Amino acid sequence: MNFLLEKQLNLLDYALASLWRRKLKNLGIMSVFAGVICLVASFQFLTASLTATAQDLLAEAPEIVVQQMSAGRQEALPLSYLSSLEELNGVRTVAPRIWGYYFSEISGANYTVLAVDPSVMPKGDRLFQAVEGQLPSGPGEAVLGSGVAADLKLAGRRSFSLFRPDLTLKPMQMVGVFKPDTDLLTADLIYTTPDAARDLFAIPADHCTDLCVYVANPREIGTIAKKISVILPGTRVLTRPQISQTYRVVFGWRSGFASICLLSALAAFVILAWDKASGLSAEEKREIAILKVLGWQTGDILLLRCWESLIAAGLAWLLGCTAAYLHVFWLGGALFKPVMLGWSVIHPQLRLLPVVSTADLLLIFTMSVVPYLAATVIPAWRAAITPPDAAIR
C-alpha cells in the first residue's frame, strides 16, 4: 500500500483512538456544536423549504394582478376596466376578485376574505382543488382555511356571522375547508362568493378590489403588464414573478436576521474552542512534546489535530444537519415557525416541502467546521513548533 495512504490511515486510527479516550469531553463538545449547527441549519432549511412551498403554491396564481390606487392606497376598481384588459393581445382571461382583511375582535386575528367567480377562472385552479367540501355558490356560503375554522370555534356548527362596516351582522355558512397542505396561503382565508364579499365589505356591485389577468404565454407577462400600466395609468400592476420574489425576500430577510443571531452563537462557540485550544493543557502540551521526541514531525501533529477536529466537527455537522432536517421536515420547524411564518394570530399549519441543497449544506459546513478546524489546529501548530524539551522535563 502507498506509504502516504498508510500514514494517513495510521494517523486517522490514532485520532479516532484519541477522541475515544477523551470521549466524555469530546461528546460534550460535539453535542453543543451539533446543537448550534442544528439551529443554524434549521433556519437555512426552513427558508429554502418555505420559499419552495410558496413557489409551488404560487405556480397557479394569476400571472398579473391589477389594483386601483388612490393617494398611494388601494381602493375598489370599476368592473368596466375588464373589457379593456380582455382586448389586449395575449390575455387569456380576466377575473374580477374581491378581497380584504377582516379583523376578529374576539380572537385578535386577521382573516383574509377572498371572492372570485370559479366560472371565469381557468380550469384546474389549485385553490378550488384544495377545497374539502363544496365551493360557495349560494348567499353567504364560504370555504374556510383551517386557521379560521379553528379560530371561529365552530365546534360542529356551520353557520357564523361577521360584522359589516356599519356593524350589522352578515350571516355566513361554512360549506367546506381548505386542505392543510395549502396552509401557507389559506390558513387565514375565508373564500366566499363575490356578492357575499361585496356585501361584507360594502363594495358597490359594479366594483371589485382587483383584476386577475391570466396570459397565454408566460414569457409575455412583463410586456402585458407594461401595456396595462399604460392603458390604466392609475393602477398598480403586480406580476407573479414579483410576488414570488417578495416571498423570497420576506423569508430571506427573516431567515437572515435570525441567522445573524445564531451565527453569533456559532462564533461564540468557535471563540470558546479557540480559547480552550490555545490554552492547551499541560497534559496536551506534554503529549505533543512526547510525540515530537519519538519522531513525529510538526506536520504529523498538525495532521493528527486536523483529523481529530475534522472528525469531531464533521460528526457534529452531520448530526446537526440531520437534527435540523428532522426538526424542519418532520416536526414542521416547530422552534422557528413563529419567527418565519405569519404576522397575525393565525399561524399556518402547512406541510413543508423537503428541500435541501448542496449549496446550503456546504455553506453550513464552511460556517461551522472550517472555523472550528482553524480554532483547534492553529494552537496545536504553535505548540508543535516549540522545542519539546521544556514540556518533558
Partner 1 sequence: MTLIECRDLLKVYPVDGQDFRAVDGVSFGVEEGDFVAILGHSGSGKTTLLSLIGGLARPDRGEVLVAGRNCWAQSDAELAVMRNATIGFIFQFGSLIPTLTALENILLPLSFAGSLAAERESTALALELLDQVGLSEKGNAFPAQLSGGQQRRVAIARAFINRPRIILADEPTGDLDEETEREILKLFRYYNETVGTTFLVVTHNSQLTESQKRPRTFAMKNGRLSETTVRGQ
Interacting residue ranges for partner 1, rule: CB under 8 A: 1, 3, 6-7, 10-11, 14, 17-18, 21-22, 283, 287, 290-300, 387-390, 392-393
Q: Which is nearer to partner 1, 8 or 70 (CB)?
A: 8
Q: Which is nearer to partner 1, 73 or 393 (CB)?
A: 393
Positive/negative CA dihedral, 384, 390, 391, 393: positive
Task: Supply φ then ψ for residue 61, to 5 degrees.
Answer: -70, 160
Smallest separation, CB 289 to partner 1 (Å)? 8
Q: Which is nearer to partner 1, 6 or 75 (CB)?
A: 6
Please check whether residue 285 is in contact with residue 49, taking contact to mean a CB–CB distance below 8 angstroms.
no
Grouping H, G, I as helix, E, B as strand and the rest as coil, residue 393 is: coil
Smallest separation, CB 290 to partner 1 (Å)? 5
Smallest separation, CB 281 to partner 1 (Å)? 11
Q: Which is nearer to partner 1, 8 or 264 (CB)?
A: 8
Q: Which is nearer to partner 1, 111 or 296 (CB)?
A: 296
Smallest separation, CB 315 to partner 1 (Å)? 19
Please check whether residue 379 is in contact with residue 274, taking contact to mean a CB–CB distance below 8 angstroms.
yes
Smallest separation, CB 382 to partner 1 (Å)? 14
d(CA 8, CA 293): 20
Q: CB atoms < 10 A from the CB of 231, how many?
A: 12
Q: CB atoms < 10 A from the CB of 74, how many?
A: 14
Smallest separation, CB 21 to partner 1 (Å)? 4
Q: Which is nearer to partner 1, 271 or 290 (CB)?
A: 290
Q: Which is nearer to partner 1, 163 or 381 (CB)?
A: 381
Looking at the chain, list the stretches that DSSP marks H as alpha helix, in order from N- to C-terminal side.
3-21, 23-58, 81-86, 126-129, 146-151, 183-186, 194-201, 221-231, 240-278, 282-293, 298-329, 337-340, 358-384, 389-392
Smallest separation, CB 53 to partner 1 (Å)? 50
**Rg of the chain (C-alpha set):** 30
Give the H or E element holding residue 66. strand 64-70
Q: Which is nearer to partner 1, 22 or 164 (CB)?
A: 22
CA distances from 219 to 180, 232, 235, 237, 389 (A): 32, 21, 22, 16, 74
Smallest separation, CB 276 to partner 1 (Å)? 18
**Distance of alpha carbon 336 from the chain centroid:** 9
d(CA 154, CA 100): 22
